[in-house]
Amino acid sequence: MFTASLLRTGVPLALAVSAALLLPAGQALAQTGPDPARTPEEVLEAALARSPNTGAARNVILFIGDGMGVSTVTAGRILDGQRQGRDGASHDLAFDTMPYGGLVRTYSADGLVTDSANGASAITTGYRTINGALGVDGGARRGVCDPSRNVATIAQRAKAEIGKAVGVVSTSSVTDASPAAFYAHVPDRNWQSDAELPAAARAAGCQDIAAQLVLAPDEIRPDLVLGGGWSFFRPAEAGGRRVDGQDLTALWASQPGGAYVTDREGMTQAVAERRKILGLFAPVHIPHELDRPGAAPQIIPTLEEMTRAAISRLAAEPAGYVLLVEGAHIDKAHHAGLINASLTELIEFAKAVAAAREMTDDADTLILVTADHSHGLVISGGARGDDVLGLIKGPTGAPRLAEDGKPIPILSYATGPGGPRDASGRPGLEAGDPTAPDHVRQAGVYFSSAAHAGEDVPAYAEGPGAYLVTGSMDQPYLFQVLRHALRLPPKPPGS
């Protein structure tokens, strides 16, 4: 199935979800009026009473909503509110109520539009690099191993220099671009196992991403890693991809206090025992949230559950921690044109942010929520009571027609698999359900995988140093905010 192969979950996309989540196409949702929890007057009073926290952060949690541009946030906010029977436009996601925020520019060293590798690396290292590269400076060349280009990540510096514990959580493979940006250094994000590592790169001293995670020196190795991707860590004879015969999961478990877990129960037990945890719950990516009913939900933890487990485990560390949490499938579903799936992942991501805010104290924990890049999603209209996943309606309640005589979706893409493939133009929307989980949303230009977009992305923050997240910011500036909050010097010792 196209969508399943693109998302690389190995699980067919569910064809139906709970009726509590979706309403039939065209049906208006119940309205309760503007959200009374945040009136403009109350927002102003809170802003006037706010004092910036200029202290040092004991803990830092970086949330990356992969592909979470402004239009994705807006559409996801509306959908989340509508699913709760509220007015979606005035609804708040968990990070909407953070006190500080701004816009972040996301270009790469070689492009107006960034990929996840450069985007995440810019935040985690302070260096803008080329598209496709991780943990290296802007002089790197794609696929050319040059260890002299490696630059330390915020996580590596925090652990090596001030003793912070380090955690990585993602719904993708933990060797995918955004989570790998916390610990890896490669000029090609595709080097996830040694099977993808060219011989020339190996000879020049480069390691694959999975090996870098497990074989890193104690002083920089993460203490907790939760997500997908066990195939990159295990040899071919054990169902994995590695050709060197190494079982990196066994090596991880063999370290003092190490634990390798593959399900929710194992994760919970390892947290209670304060182990160093490698939790890999899928061969590649964790199944999409809309796939969960058919993908062993009793075994695979949600992003919120992994976030709670990570904070519970890392909070026990005496020096505090640095944690990365990525909502990966916002992006992956966008690439497939699966608008319902993408916005559902955005809502799940917001739940993880809510959990982190609940479990931490903003007096000593900096939480920064942002994106690595945007996607070309457009919101073209719709009445306040219309399902945001549906069609724009005319005065009679029937779908409004464009000049080509076909209905207009409220949400559409600039590029993607829903674009016209020939001169006949875009397909009609009269048949089928545009709110269905497997509906591929229309796009202006056909691409088999929807392209990223280059506009600024949002950032939201609270806690020590959060007041520095404001205005128009360059992506590497966010690294400087994290570094300052942790009171790390501008450069690593000896650099």
Among candidate residues 5, 51, 90, 116, the one labeled active-site is 116
Query: What is the residue type of 354?
Result: A
311 close to 356: Cβ distance less than 8 angstroms: yes
Which of 2, 10, 407, 474 lies closest to 239 in space, CA to CA?
10
116 has catalytic annotation: yes
Total Cβ atoms within 10 A of residue 397: 10
Question: Active-site positions?
Answer: 116
